[in-house]
Structure 1
Amino acid sequence: MAHLIEPGLTMLVGSFAPAASHAVAVAIAFALITMLHIVLGELAPKGLALQYPEGTSLWVARPIKGFFVLFRGPIVLLNGIGNGVLRLFGLPPASGHELVHSVEELRLLVTGMQQAGVVEASEARIAARAFNFGDLTAGVLMTPRTEMDALPLTATREQALEYARSGTHSRLPIYDGTPDNVVGVLRVRDLFKIVDSTVPFDVRQFMREVLMVPESKAADDLLDEMRSSGRQFAVVIDEYGGTAGVLTLWNLLSVLVGGIVTADVADDTLEIIASAEADGTRELDGLTRLEEFEEALRITLAPEDHDDADTLGGLVMARLGHVPETGEEVEIGGYHVRVEEKDGHRVARVRVTRVPVTSQTEEA
């Protein structure tokens, strides 16, 4: 290549042309080699693998295995030298656990695969929920005690059948004295056996052992425990030993797949989105989880908001600093949240309205 460049350089640098031509030729050759290495060694193979992942994997598996066996010695030697250099600077060599992808890296990989069309949007959403699943706890996912349906241990046949007819739950916790003393769980379908029975009724005949878990129990650990024990219902206990709420296997699975929609159960996030009026105003349940609120309205709350509360009603109460009265409002994530209805001391319903842009500008 140098002899092709030299005539042109002679006109510019004269007698320095031979030396200059070699330097320019080296630079051009290096640029060409680098370009070919990137295109043929990375971009093109990566594109081929993304388009045909299974076929590409099968085609390159044996050559890569042979390459590893052939060059295993040099690979081990170079890794040893690299680890030795790290030790000289007082740094520990990377272990096998540190060489795997972190959760954040996996999120980026899934996002990139979705953008490339390798995975569907629904699959990417399930993967994202799975990455966050381990950060959730039983206390976050449970149905709180104030919303819990339960049956006393002294319930009569008529009371039990009335619960079965009017309720929408497949299982009911059984308590002795107060709901803080849950002693078992009843499958509603077991009550069908006593509809026409004349045998004296005792709820203990149908009661099953119930799983008790603390509020701090991680969602993934609880799912494993439910699967291994074959139970689908758990009572969540607070730090004082009282009943904080109840949790079902259905609740856990709904978090992973984004809401299992049936005739009676709708995806909470979709419900929030669909509830918007023409001007964007929404009326939401005070028990709406903050994660669902963020996802549906495409906002991100401050970390301290999640520390203060798990639900929208709880966050309103935390922001105000007292038990709110109907009509009080607070701004959350660029929205006015107004208390519309209360259930005792609990915020039952709120009205959510977007803060006008002009108001936000003036405040800024």
Structure 2
Amino acid sequence: MADLPALGIGLALLLGNAFFVGAEFALISARRTQIEPRASEGSAMARITLRAMERVSLMMAGAQLGITMCSLGLGAIAEPALAHLLEVPLAAVGVSGPLLHGIAFTIALAVVVFLHMVLGEMVPKNIAIAGPERSAILMGPPLYLVVLILKPLIVTLNWTANIVLKSLRVTPREEVASTFTADEVAGFIAESRQQGLLEEAEHDLLAGALSMGIEQIHAVAVPLSELVVLPAGATPAQAEAECVRTGFSRFPIRGPEGDMVGYVHLKDLLMAPAHTLAQPIRPRLIRPLVEVDGETTLDAALTAMQARGTHVALVTTQGEPHGIAMLEDVVERLVGEVVDAAQRPKD
């Protein structure tokens, strides 16, 4: 083959290598959440990219096949052609014999390897990482088409690779995970606050929302020994007196056997007729407690309270009562301090 056409083919192979490398890194780095809106808006390229991301194992096999073929072709075609071209100027400066071909081959090999590493590997990789979603939409569909054309060969290669992975007790993945762990999200929130991208109140709200799915209800429960409770047979007058003394508006009721049978809310007692203030609180005014295990997360406990329509939960440890958690104690983890409606604000 003539040297100049061979170098032209070598340039095409170099660009092909860059394409496959860029497509591979783009599909791995891109987030579905960034591409799905464009697919919903009707972008055909985005829809094809999503299909490619759902078959990432096949796409990677296709990309690796393309990279391998381009690299081998580059070495087989471009390097000899470049070496042959270099022999002319080397001969002109007095290099001859076996030394001529050896020097030309070494220089040609160094140039081809340098261009392959820089233009065929490093540049496309960094472009894909710098803008993964844009790169995926541009290069994902062409790679998807290549994989469809060469599907029998690529499926065979992928099947063989999966057998090797399973023998090593590694589960093959068809799609790259596009979610973050709680620790990663917490790190993003903290870093955003440090860089001034979030106000303190915004940071606290986001951090609190994240902790709701991690922190357990026992962390906010008040031990039974520290509770302000009303005894069985307590009167509305006693509840009002405790409200004045403590500033609380909800009081658990301790049954005759020492167990918590429910709680009363002060607002339910305010409508009681005057002649009943010295009589035991009516059973219909005692609200039920929802029982939750101490290892229940705050968000799950909040859901349980909402489902039962109660503001007070009985927290248990291995089935035994441990303490009481109020709704505001749970909400405080999200929005900060919540003052009981019956409490006076501090000066």
Q: By how many angstroms is 1:163 displaced? A: 1.9
**Cross-structure match for 1:92:** 171
**Cross-structure match for 1:185:** 263
**Cross-structure match for 1:198:** 275
Q: Distance in 2 between matches of 1:159 and 1:25?
A: 93
Which range is displaced more, 116-125 or 163-172?
A: 116-125
**Cross-structure match for 1:19:** 105
What amino acid does structure 2 have at the position aligned with 1:26?
A: V
Q: Deviations over 1:78-126 (max 9, x none)?
A: 6544423212334333487978544444445555666677666655555
- Rg bigger for which structure? 2
Q: Distance in 2 between matches of 1:263 and 1:227?
A: 18
Q: Which has the higher contact order (CA 8 A, sep 6+)?
A: 2
Q: Quickly say closer, same or farther: Cα 1:82–1:146, change in 2 above 3 A.
A: same
Q: Quickly say closer, same or farther: Cα 1:32–1:161, change in 2 above 3 A.
A: same
Give the conservation status (yes or no) of the 8 Å contact 1:133–1:256: yes
1:1-364, aligned counterparts within 5 Å? 15=100, 16-33=102-119, 34-43=121-130, 45=131, 70=145, 73=148, 77=155, 80-94=159-173, 101-108=180-187, 110=189, 123=202, 126-177=205-256, 180-194=258-272, 197-199=274-276, 201-203=279-281, 204-239=283-318, 241=320, 243-257=321-335, 259-260=336-337, 262=339
Q: Quickly say closer, same or farther: Cα 1:94–1:28, change in 2 above 3 A.
A: closer
> Which consecutive residues of structure 2, in runs of 5 or more, have no partner in the other structure?
1-6, 8-81, 343-347
RMSD, aligned α-carbons: 4.4
Q: Distance in 2 between matches of 1:12 and 1:149?
A: 103
Q: By how many angstroms is 1:227 displaced? A: 2.6
Q: Deviations over 1:44-82 (max 9, x none)?
A: x26xxxxxxxxxx7x889768856874674788365444
Q: Distance in 1 between matches of 2:319 and 2:293?
A: 10
Q: Distance in 1 between matches of 2:341 and 2:219?
A: 22
Q: By how many angstroms is 1:187 displaced? A: 1.1
Q: Structure 2 length as normaliser, TM-score?
A: 0.55
Q: Distance in 2 between matches of 1:256 and 1:5?
A: 74
Give the conservation status (yes or no) of the 8 Å contact 1:226–1:232: yes
> Which consecutive residues of structure 1, in runs of 5 or more, have no partner in the other structure?
47-56, 266-364
Q: Distance in 2 between matches of 1:261 and 1:25?
A: 69
Q: By how many angstroms is 1:250 displaced? A: 1.8
What amino acid does structure 2 have at the position aligned with 1:181?
A: D
Give the total of aligned pairs.
Answer: 249
Q: By how many angstroms is 1:10 displaced? A: 9.0
> Which is helix-richer, 1 or 2?
2
What amino acid does structure 2 have at the position aligned with 1:189?
A: K
Q: Distance in 2 between matches of 1:218 and 1:147?
A: 22
Q: Distance in 1 between matches of 2:290 and 2:91?
A: 85
